[in-house]
Amino acid sequence: MQKVGIFYGSDSSNTQHICQKVAKELGDAQVFDVANASREEFLSFSNLILATPTYGLGELQDDWESFLGGLSEEDFAGKVVAFIGVGDQDTYSDTFCNGVSYLYHKAAKANRIGQIANEGYYFESTEALVDGKLVGLLLDEDNQSELSDERIAKWVTKIKSEFV
């Protein structure tokens, strides 16, 4: 497996810490905050993990808004991409982890991997549910933080075999 670039946006430290845990589980990964990352750094990886919390009424994190504006759908062609969404199933049950759906759809030309079953989650609605599966690893650090380490380990084992 080639080195993995993990790109995240965050206004708090939850998403950053999750990405650091994922990088440690993967072994050969480099973590970037999109607030400081360059398009060239992003394009240098064949294997990517894109991570974002959801803000407001199901919106993408602000730094991702800026970063995605500098990328085209073609920039994802030939890449293998996995996704991490961070949200709150209790307070925002009707928009749980919607932010990650923006990343998922922008990467339509990539080989999108890491989809999981939505068992063990209790949200009302999410745009991160596509064809009956969650688009990637969704974590709720506010209400289910005790499940995060196990979910991360299981998900990383899955995606390791799907990366090039």
In the chain the domains, ranked by start, together with CATH numbers, are 4-160 (3.40.50.360)
Q: State percent of the chain over pLDDT 90.
A: 94
The yes-or-no verdict on residue 12 having pLDDT over 90 is: no
Model confidence, pTM? 0.96
H helices present in 27-147, as ranges: 39-43, 62-69, 99-106
Q: What is the pLDDT of residue 91?
A: 92
H-run or E-run covering 146: none
Across 129-140, average pLDDT: 96
Q: What is the pLDDT of residue 98?
A: 96
Q: Is 48 helix (H, G, I), strand (E, B) or coil?
A: strand
The yes-or-no verdict on residue 135 having pLDDT over 90 is: yes
Confidence of residue 55 (pLDDT cuts 50, 70, 90): confident
Contact between residue 3 and residue 44 where contact means Cβ atoms under 8 Å apart = no
